[in-house]
Chains A and B, each alone.
Chain A
Amino acid sequence: MMGLLRAISGLIAWAVAFSAIYGLQGLGCALGWDRVMIGPLQLGRTLLIVLWLAFVAVQAWMIWHFTHHPRGSVFLNRLTVAVAVVGWVATIYTGVPVVLASMCF
């Protein structure tokens, strides 16, 4: 069971990232962080971008870790790495709006 849990951890990481980013966006808008400026940057958007990049980095590390520390059967290892890559791509892809879209509008 731990092997299976490890295999899906890449997408669990995506789920956490997605919820955290969506939650921070909602919270930031509720607290008016889109109107607080630090220099030329919106506070809310800056925090969102930092959070997004942090998750991208952590998930990239996960891919590296799973490739270099195989455990259990060949099938499960391949699945683990593949799911980690899917999760990483998903975090990048679904996070793109933090740079592209209007934050609270």
Chain B
Amino acid sequence: MKALRLHRAFEAIWGTPRGWRGTVCSVNHSTLGIRLMVTAFAFFLIGGVLAMLIRAQLATPHSAFVGPEAYAQLFTMHGSIMMFLFAIPMFEGFAIYMLPKMLGTRDFAFPRLTAYGWWCYLFGGSMLLVAMLAGLAPDAGWFMYTPLSSKPYSPGINSDFWLLGITFVEISAIVTAVDIVVTILKMRAPGMSLDKMPLFAWYMLVTTMMMLVGFPPLILGSILLELERAFGWPFFDVTRGGDSLLWQHLFWLFGHPEVYIIFLPAAGAVSTILPVMARTAILGYGWIVGAVIALGFLSFGLWVHHMFTVGIPHMALAFFSAASTLVAIPTGVQIFAWLGTLWAGRPQMKMPMLYLIGFFIVFVMGGLTGVMVAVVPFDWQAHDSAFVTAHLHYVLFGGFVFPMLAAAYYWLAHFTGRQYQYRLGVSAFWLILIGFNLTFLQMHIVGLLGQARRIETYPAEIGWTAYNLVSSIGGFILAFGIGLFLIDILLQFFHAPKSKRNPWSAGTLEWGMTMPPPSYNIASIPHVEGREPLHDRPDLALSLARGEGYLGEPRNGWRETLAVGTSSGKLDHIVVLPGNTTLPIWTAAVTGSFFLLMLLKLYWLTPLPLLALVAMAWRWAWLLGRKEDVGALPIGHAQSAPTHAEVQDPPGWWGSIFLLTADGTFFVSLLFGYAFLWTVAPAWPPPQLFDGGVLSLVTGVGATALAVIGARVASRRLQRGNGAGGGMVLIGLVLLIAALSMAILGAPSPTEHAYNAVVAVLLAYAVFHAAIALLMQVFVVLRARAGFLSARRSAELRIAQLWTDYAAGSAAIVLLAIYVPALTA
């Protein structure tokens, strides 16, 4: 039994220790994916209970069930939990669990980052729960419009909980997105070129790229608002040069793509499940890929349609109205590709299919009302009314929850290891479908009649009582349905008979393993020839289990898997992944303590966790690498490949590229804010412009050039085998920090005018990045001394160079953005 011997050997390398030690140190993607999904589902239930309380309050006019203060916390937390603590972590967890299995690899590109993301999410989410239990939950609505959320109108700690807690969770979302992007682009089975990738991976690739571009504006907005609340920097205070509309732009710049970020993974699940249910292949693979990419871009051109009533010129509204209708076309392409697939095949009415039908009905209605609110004059009527509440629930519940319920049944065997037995599932489905429509269908009408969002009471004589009572009854039916679903799923863990490997006869690789899958997924890695490897080779699963693919023999106790060329899918190198460690939980705890100190207003203590973070990041990176070249190693089938330490672009380099993409969007959003205030805010131009002296400008720009050139000199010396010589780049970065600090000292007080505050943030941004680059360059010098770098092991130097270039480039832009208007005035 070769398969069993291999199983034991791989399990020893990839497994997680039992008990609490395993809990805190595991970096395994299956374990973490399940944890994320379970936690997200728990938040879904909590958010659902809040919704029930809202519906109980609105069931009758003049209800005295909860007061307006508690009601404000209820709807704010319901929205925030469902968006940030349920939907995003749920699909992330699903992707973390499923992607490596679909792509034919053994784990994620950055296993420790996966774990860090989960701990950050858990800690950040807990912060918000604690706030809620203490009665201090955020209460300014889930989109936190200023000035309602600003200090004068929300003096309590409530809003700080939102800003800090959500930012903490967003950090988790960003690192997870980097993790997912690099895994999809690099960590596939050899042969899996982009056009052979499972559609779900395409959907996730687009989704996570959108997260990298969409989340930074919100993080920026939250930081600016927290700076205003904590230190009085007036970004949004109109009396001191700020503008509350800046918040709306930054929020919706995130907020609209967010809807698609939530919908696309679910649509990816639909595109995966639906052809299997119809016993055929998906219709128009290439069309769908194009449509998903188009959605990824177009959805960034919609954000102002949440701001149709803020008094923007009609032409600007029309741009966004056009983009908002345009975005329906790629959605239409997908809908018709799915319908065509069903027509081409012979669909079978199993549990997943039932939920897909629910998805079609509910989501198509949400899409149609979405087109309606894209039409400007109609939106003037519907905006901020119950019509919009109904629309967004049709889109999000229809477009996310229904597909996820289908996915739960489709991939159930992965978690239970058992066949699905019809029990309560069908009744649960009908309760959910009927309950949902009873809750939200007539909400469209009462919205158009004038019921605004977020009211906690309404007069009896206005005639909305019947609508609201039916909604509330529907809400409770829906809740029973969800409860029944939960019971149904739990029962499956105990009763049903063992599942076979591939219960649906699907073609994708995640079904080519035992159920539930082992920690290493597959004992050897296949060479992929088509989109449905299990259909192409029915014996593939057993062959892989016998170690007949790549890397079928454990080596040195290493966690080995393969990396490929991003587009071609050609074998590129071996990735040796780090093993279990408690570093992620500690780093997340330190990150959390920073946010906690901010929350408790102990600002003078915050440098401590920041220093600790530097130390941990240092250790994080120092643990990797080797002190000798090992060259190319055999991987089976008479082929060999170098390890990631000896290639030019290991996953770490790619990770830096995508992290910098997110960072760059953050920076561009900041520049947008600067330009926006300058052109739109009433109290501009500022009374006094920056006057920091030309010396720091000249020194600063010169220093950026020195750093960029120095980084290249160091790289060339290493390539020639002369060791790393970082003298010039170090001097350049130190000079840059000095010049920027000088400018900061000469800058006017940030509390006086939004201009001053923006200048301060720009300079702080530049100093922060120069400091990161400096730390990295020092790290590289010490690594070279310790023998970790050689002409072949030069990737760390290349990564440091990337960050140095970014720091130098952004610092130069910051200096120009500050000095050019000041000098030309």
Contact = CB atoms under 8 A, between A and B. Distances in A.
Question: In the complex, is A directly touching B at CB under 8 Å?
Answer: yes
Contact of A83 (B293, B316, B675): B293
Given A76-B194, A90-B326, A94-B301, A102 B313 contact: yes
A70 interface: no
A38 interface: no
Contact of B316 (A7, A14, A25, A75): A25
Interface string A4-45: 100110011011001001110111011000000000000000
B250 to A, nearest CB: 15
Contacts of A102: 313-315
A75 B315 contact: no
Contacts of A94: 301, 319, 322-323, 326
Contact of B319 (A4, A18, A73, A79): A18
B567 A97 contact: no
Nearest to A104: B313
Contacts of B318: 96-97, 100-101
Contacts of A12: 297
Q: How big is the B interface, by class?
A: 20 to 34
A103 B316 CA distance: 8
A97 B286 contact: no
Contacts of B612: none
B680 interface: yes
Given A75-B195, A76-B194, A83 B679 contact: no
B505 interface: no
Given A78-B286, A83-B293, A96-B322, A101 B680 contact: no
A62 to B, nearest CB: 15
B316 A26 contact: yes
A87 B330 CA distance: 12
Contacts of A105: 313-314
Q: How big is the A interface, by class?
A: 35 or more
A100 B322 CA distance: 12
A93 B316 contact: no
Given A30-B680, A73-B568, A76-B567, A103 B313 contact: yes
B297 A4 contact: no
Contact of B293 (A3, A8, A75, A100): A8
A35 to B, nearest CB: 13
Nearest to B567: A3
B371 to A, nearest CB: 14
B509 to A, nearest CB: 19
B298 interface: yes
A47 interface: no
A14 B567 contact: no
B154 interface: no
Q: Which 8 pairs show the lowest CB-CB distances between chains A and B?
A: A97-B318, A75-B195, A11-B297, A101-B315, A30-B679, A101-B318, A3-B567, A94-B322
Interface of A: 1, 3-4, 7-8, 11-12, 14-15, 18, 21-23, 25-27, 29-30, 72-73, 75-76, 78-79, 82-83, 86-87, 90, 93-98, 100-105
Interface of B: 185, 193-195, 286, 289-290, 293-294, 296-298, 300-301, 313-319, 321-323, 326, 566-568, 675, 679-680
Given A25-B315, A90-B294, A102-B314, 4 more contacts: A1-B566, A75-B286, A93-B322, A97-B319
20 contacts: A14-B297, A18-B323, A22-B319, A23-B675, A73-B194, A73-B195, A75-B193, A75-B194, A75-B286, A83-B293, A87-B297, A90-B298, A94-B301, A95-B319, A100-B318, A101-B315, A101-B318, A102-B314, A105-B313, A105-B314
